[in-house]
Amino acid sequence: MTPTLPLPAEILDLLPDAVCVVDADGRYLFVSAGFERILGYRPDEVLGCQAFDFIHPDDRADTLHQATQVMAGVFQRHFRNRYLHRDGHAVDMLWSANWHPAHGVRIGVGREITELRRVERELEHLAGHDALTGLPNRYRLQQTLERALAQAGASGDGLALLYIDLDGFKTVNDVGGHDAGDRLLQDVAARLTESLRHGDVAARVGGDEFVILLPGCRDASAAAQVAETLRAQLRLVYRLADRPFQLDASVGIACFPGDGSDGATLLAHADREMYAVKRRVPRDNAA
């Protein structure tokens, strides 16, 4: 028997990826079996339809830009977007695409990367957040602060930083051990977050040190009021080794632009003010 090659479509249907051919107007002319396996649509449900009708609405503008580049002769590799599955959920896709002017078609090969994107998002979160409390870490705080400073500089709105150091935290570790200390830090993070306005940011920047970013805070007086509110929340009684325990906090304040025009200067100023407060007002259970 003389071997013969199967039809190209039969070969393409074996690929785990989706192979799509669209015309110059973006209408599907061909989809491989992988398209249905990934997105749930049968070929008869998509042929003749606009490809953009199946793309997540938030990604359509960027996808249109990429398609325009492809049709201008730019071979597109590793372009990401999201499609809507037949069941309604979003599917993350990675595409390679090319325009074939002689045939008047655009060919794309897409691979599902939903699980990859989930892992990437987890890693992105871990890189910018404290593992114990879930709050933004120093790295993420610096990024957020730089954006907030740029906005405050453009709008003329105020901005303040509160640098918080827990007074008495050493006692928690000494009496209850590090597990008790970890639980208290998680409780502190929750109390700080619950006490803030929408748009304010709480970050953990050290062992028992936290920074609060207050965009739009008009002056030091307003920042001091927030600081006292947070201190009151932190002074609510905790349980330590089955006994009541009261924590306290020293808070340093820095305001933009009077105390600094950049993030590093503001953080350093708030840090110095916090230590000044700690020296000026010793706590009975200070660390």
pLDDT in tens, 253-282: 999 999 999 999 999 999 999 999 988 866
Predicted local confidence at residue 273, as pLDDT: 96
Which pLDDT score is estimated for 121? 94
Tokens representing residue 226 in the block:
């927030």
- The amino acid at residue 47 is L
| Contact assessment for residue 217 and residue 239, using Cβ atoms and an 8 Å cutoff | no
Residue pLDDT, tens place only, 10-23: 888 889 999 999 99
Q: Count of CB atoms within 10 A of residue 208's CB?
A: 21
Closest residue by Cα to residue 162 from 235, 236, 262, 229: 229
What's the pLDDT at 216? 93
What integer pLDDT is reported at residue 281 of this predicted model? 66
So what's the pLDDT on residue 2? 86
Tens-digit pLDDT profile for residues 92-105: 999 999 999 999 99
pLDDT averaged per 10 residues in sequence order, the chain, 287 residues: 84 92 96 97 96 96 94 90 97 96 95 96 94 96 96 92 93 83 93 93 96 94 95 84 84 95 96 92 52
What single string gives the DSSP state of each residue in 130-163?
A: -TTT-SB-HHHHHHHHHHHHHHHHHH---EEEEE
Residues 6 or more apart whose Cβ sits within 8 Å of residue 76 = 66, 69, 70, 95, 96, 97, 98
Task: Tell me the domains of the chain and their CATH numbers.
Answer: 8-118 (3.30.450.20), 129-280 (3.30.70.270)
Whole-model pTM: value is 0.77
End-to-end Cα spacing for the chain: 88
CA 101 – CA 222 distance, rounded (Å): 64
Q: What pLDDT score does 56 carry? A: 97
Q: Which of 215, 43, 30, 187 is nearest to 107 (CA)?
A: 30
Burial of 283 (C-beta count, 10 Å sphere; 0-12/13-18/19+): middle
Position 282 scores a pLDDT of 62
